[in-house]
Amino acid sequence: MEYFIQQLINGVTLGSIYGLIAIGYTMVYGIIGMINFAHGDIFMIGAFISLITFLVLGIIGITWIPLALLIVLLVSMIIASIYGWTVERLAYRPLRGSFRLAPLISAIGMSIFLQNYVQLLQGARVRPMQPVISGGFTFLEGSAFSITVSYLQIVIVLLTIILMTAFALIISRTSLGRAQRGCEQDRTMSALLGINVDRTISLTFVMGAALAAVAGMLFVLYYGVIDFYIGFLAGVKAFTAAVLGGIGSLPGAMLGGLLIGLIETYWSAYFSIEYKDVAAFAILVLVLIFRPTGLLGKPEIEKV
């Protein structure tokens, strides 16, 4: 039982990071119906910016951890947002209204560009960072299996829940959210009703990038090792999570992320670690056979 709980903690933490990235995929898909393949790389850039900001703060002597975290969070969100906005401006907006596959290809191009850009700027080696927040709680100490929860794991899960709720509220309650939902349903009609479609789509990319930056910061803090290639692996997993949960649905992305994290962890825990990806993708295939729109996705109704 203790072992089960420990693996639950591992799985939920991993799933939260996947979910946080998956929200970015799902939002962009919800608005423009396109997968933003550069999203994983924005996450990677967010992680690098966080690492650099931590180092800079260390040099100038800001070592009070809550303040440092807040500064890093803001800096990485702002800079990553600029990247997100630029990606939209360069790879999506010029191709809006052209055939459906064009922006998809340009986004893949953007993803390759960003990877190589970071590789050239930061080098191809892994970049390590020593733990900033260490320690945690230990339960059942002295028994056969003591459960450990680190402060960071708690921070990751809490922050994910808070951001998830905040973004769900933005989309369902604010005028920006109303505009986003309008664009999702009918872009031409929204424009006729006075919604600035370009601006709404840009803001969606900015929001997605800011979330990816948060995930990047948590990734650096939790694992402590990053390289220019992390965006690819994390992106694939998060994209899978978004599809599993139902792409276009915010709670779906979170649910999908958690499920992928938990399946991977429990498969590793009770079966073979070697085949954990097989397990995760097998479940994805099964879900898509029975629910092609994912767990919480709305079925698309074609009006004839």
Binding site for other proteins (CB under 8 A): 3, 6-7, 10-11, 13-14, 119, 123-126, 128, 130-131, 134, 136, 138, 145-146, 148, 150, 219, 223-225, 227, 229-230, 233, 264-265, 268-269, 272-274, 276-277
Using alpha carbons, select from 8, 17, 32 the residue that is nearest to residue 164.
17
Cα separation of 25 and 129, whole Å? 28
CA 194 to chain centre: 31
Q: Which is nearer to other proteins, 142 or 299 (by Cβ)?
A: 142
CB of 55 to other proteins, least distance (A): 13
Phi, psi of 297 (to 5 degrees): -75, 145
Nearest distance in Å: CB 178, other proteins = 38
Helix (H/G/I), strand (E/B), else coil: 149: strand
Minimum CB separation from other proteins for residue 85, in Å? Answer: 28
- Least distance in Å: CB of 283 to other proteins? 16
Q: Which is nearer to other proteins, 102 or 155 (CB)?
A: 155
Q: For residues 63 and 165, which CB has a smaller minimum distance to other proteins in the complex?
A: 63
DSSP labels, 116-170: HHHHHHH-SS-EE---SS--EEEESTTSSS-EEEEHHHHHHHHHHHHHHHHHHHH
Question: Residue 206: left (phi > 0), alpha (psi -120 to 50), or beta?
Answer: alpha
Contact 47/230 with Cβ under 8 angstroms?
A: yes
- Between residues 121 and 304, which has the closer beta carbon with respect to other proteins? 121
Question: Least distance from C-beta 96 to other proteins, angstroms?
Answer: 35
Of 16 and 200, the one with the shorter C-beta distance to other proteins is 16
Closest distance of CB 69 from other proteins, Å:
18
CB nearer other proteins, residue 104 or residue 149: 149
Q: Are 49 and 194 in contact (CB under 8 A)?
A: no
Q: From CA 27, how far away is CA 39, in angstroms rounded?
A: 11
- Rounded to a whole number of angstroms, the minimum distance from the CB of residue 64 to other proteins is 21
Cβ-proximal residues to 107 (8 Å cutoff; 6+ apart), any chain: 34, 35, 36, 37, 38, 87, 91, 92
CB of 269 or CB of 288, closer to other proteins: 269
- Burial class from Cβ neighbours inside 10 Å (0-12, 13-18, 19+) for residue 9 reads middle
CB closer to other proteins out of 177 and 224 = 224
Which residues, including other chains, have CB under 8 Å from residue 302's CB and lie 6 or more apart?
none
Residue type, 220: V
Query: Minimum distance from CB of 211 to other proteins (Å)?
Result: 19
